[in-house]
Amino acid sequence: MGHYIASFRGSLYVGAHNTMPLPLPPPNWEANEISKFIDAARANEFATFANLTGEIARLSDIDLGYRKAIDGVNHSKDWFAGFFLLRAHSNFLAACRLCWSAQIPESYALLRSCLENALYGLYLSKHPESRETWLRRGEDTAARQRVKDEFQIGTMLRLAAMVDATEGAVARALYDRTIDSGAHPNELALMQTLQINKSADHIEFKSNYLDHDSVALRAALKTTAQVGVCALSLFQLIYPERFDIMGVTDLLRHVKVGL
């Protein structure tokens, strides 16, 4: 595998449904409840973009870092980790979309996946002999169990701490936060969007699928930035020279200020 040199590109805007300008809604769009939810989410995305400009600017800078990094690993000999860089970026973008729409607990599940892709990339860059194990996961029950036994999140977090104590500690703290906040059905994931209304003889529970400008939303936006930076920093441990050349190292130094 080490003899190959690969080229990477994230195909971000491919698909007939993504053409510009945006088409008008199809017939009966407004009569569908899921469609109404999507429209409400989109309205929230616009509001977040317009009103929380500082948070949006930082996330946009982090996104630029991923794009530069993807360009930078073109023709890299350590090409296998590039697959996980692409997936981490895609997870980051999806988390931004959910977070901007104020789907707060759901965004943490994607942030967990973003971190996991970075940790897998780092692990496989340090253990290239395990690529075949990972690739053969679907062959049979025994192969699936070998992957489960080797690719445990604790193992990968410990490796990250061995490679870089600071980034490893940040990755562990953020991973635990994503689990608490929505990547698992934990108490905080429920409570951050739950409203309780009491009367003399009645208790009403209301869970906001779409939140508003709240403390929880701003915390989620900050965590999205922190996870995006942490995952990108883990890839920096794999591609330090390429990150320097492409300006990603300097960009990371900039976006970390205040996080």
- The total of structural domains in the chain comes to 1
End-to-end alpha-carbon separation of the chain, Å? 38
Tokens 């922190």 correspond to what residue?
226
- How far is 4 from 17, CA to CA, in rounded Å? 35
pLDDT band at 238 (very low <50, low <70, confident <90, very high): very high
pLDDT band at 7 (very low <50, low <70, confident <90, very high): low
pLDDT band at 193 (very low <50, low <70, confident <90, very high): confident
Side-chain-side CA neighbours of residue 149 (13 Å): 8
Q: Is residue 21 part of a domain?
A: no
Within 10 A of 87 (CB to CB), how many other CB atoms are there? 18
pLDDT band at 9 (very low <50, low <70, confident <90, very high): low
Q: What is the pLDDT of residue 206?
A: 80
Q: Report the range of poorest mean pLDDT among 26-30, 133-137, 191-195.
A: 191-195
Q: Is residue 176 part of a domain?
A: yes
Q: Is residue 6 part of a domain?
A: no
Tokens 């906040």 correspond to what residue?
181
Q: Is residue 15 part of a domain?
A: no
- Mean pLDDT of the residues in the chain: 90
Write the pLDDT tens digit of every residue in 97-149: 999 999 999 999 999 999 999 999 999 999 999 999 999 999 999 999 999 99
For residues 27-36, one letter each, b for 16 or more C-beta atoms within 10 angstroms of the residue's C-beta and e for the rest, the string is: eeeeeeeeee
Q: Are 206 and 195 in contact (CB under 8 A)?
A: yes
Q: What is the pLDDT of residue 213?
A: 87
Q: Please, what sign has the CA dihedral across residues 150, 156, 157, 162? A: positive
Predicted TM-score (pTM) of the model is 0.90
Tokens 């429209």 correspond to what residue?
39
Q: Is residue 34 part of a domain?
A: no
Range of the domain at 95: 41-255
Q: Is residue 149 part of a domain?
A: yes
